[in-house]
A and B are shown apart, each in its own frame.
Chain A
């Protein structure tokens, strides 16, 4: 068995990133937010590309925040998987709700709702 002494110890000296890392991530978040703002400002065409760019930029920003600001990258994998796996279910919910939404939209168009 693994001793748990190293675990208790672990909490005290984990996630000591140098201050420069935080400043660089901060700067990156600024740049990425500005880019997504201008993707919308200049109305990048075609529309699917604009949406893909905006979602992609949001995901990169989220990854930066979770990895560096919330230190998820330097936590044990048991926590990383506890946090990151369950939200995948939200995608399933979104897929179902969007399919249902387009169906309702069709019904409303047909019957003037």
Chain B
């Protein structure tokens, strides 16, 4: 047991703060991992602010609207066998994105064992699921635009809905596209044995962090844009 861990076990909250102060006042790096993982975490923090700002702006725009807010259950429904199922497409998209987050987590676990084929297979599965998500989002947007939903106006109620919906889901979709490119590059490098050559597999974990973040943002988009 290191000195740190002993201190943590011994003294609860007080030593927790001591540990933080010690980490930040140390003359060596604060975070105990490679720079790319540290930078990915800092990027995720900044991106949390981007989406947090968007969702706050959405709340403000929705509060300021004088017309009724569109009924999302109806707007995003699919008709199956003559019956209208509310939000069905969005529920499927949510399950697909959660599944892709699960396969990435398993892929990162396999990368810790330096298992090339297992890491690559799970990354490939993630790419397929991510592409499915993106395809369904493209379908959703096309469908909405055909029904007359635009950033400026829509036939279902307050015009602020289109502006916030297209901006926020559009930004999230852009993150999915970038994530797919990122994961594809990591997948190629895994297949070529690049990480064995440079001696660290940390980049798989870094790509995984990014993809989990995309899923994390979707959790809040699903709750605030579609359900509430």
Where the two chains meet, the residues of A that have a C-beta atom closer than 8 Å to any C-beta of B are 1-2, 4, 6-8, 10-11, 14-17, 19, 22-23, 25-26, 29-30, 33-34, 36-37, 39-41, 51, 54-55, 57-58, 61-62, 65-66, 68-70, 76-79, 81-83, 86-87, 90, 93-94, 97-98, 100-102, 104-105, 108-109, 113
Contact B228 A51 (CB under 8 A): yes
Chain A residue at minimum C-beta to C-beta distance from B106: A22
Question: Which residues on the A side are within 8 Å of B26 (C-beta)?
Answer: 1-2, 4
- Tell me the minimal C-beta distance from A41 to chain B in angstroms: 6
* Alpha-carbon separation in the docked complex, A100 to B59 (Å): 10
For window 21-79 of B, CB contacts with A under 8 Å fall at 22-24, 26, 28-34, 41-42, 44-45, 48-49, 52-53, 55-57, 59-66, 73
Contact of B23 among A25, A65, A78, A102 (CB under 8 A): A78
Contact of A7 among B28, B52, B63, B209 (CB under 8 A): B28
* Alpha-carbon separation in the docked complex, A75 to B24 (Å): 15
Contact of A41 among B24, B33, B86 (CB under 8 A): B86
* Alpha-carbon separation in the docked complex, A11 to B32 (Å): 6
Give me 14 A-to-B residue pairs in the complex whose CB atoms sit less than 8 angstroms apart, sorted by A's number: A22-B106, A33-B91, A54-B227, A58-B223, A65-B216, A65-B219, A69-B104, A76-B19, A78-B19, A90-B53, A94-B56, A97-B59, A105-B65, A109-B66
Contact of B109 among A17, A39, A51, A104 (CB under 8 A): A17
* Alpha-carbon separation in the docked complex, A4 to B101 (Å): 33
A-contacting 9-mer, from B92-100, B123-131, B140-148, B175-183: B92-100
- Tell me the minimal C-beta distance from B158 to chain A in angstroms: 10
Chain A residue at minimum C-beta to C-beta distance from B102: A26
Contact B20 A77 (CB under 8 A): yes
A contact face: mostly helix, strand, loop, or mixed = helix
Q: Given A2-B3, A98-B59, A109-B66, check contact A78 B24 (CB 8 Å).
A: yes
B contact face: mostly helix, strand, loop, or mixed = helix
Contact B49 A86 (CB under 8 A): yes
Contact of A76 among B31, B62, B73, B98 (CB under 8 A): B31
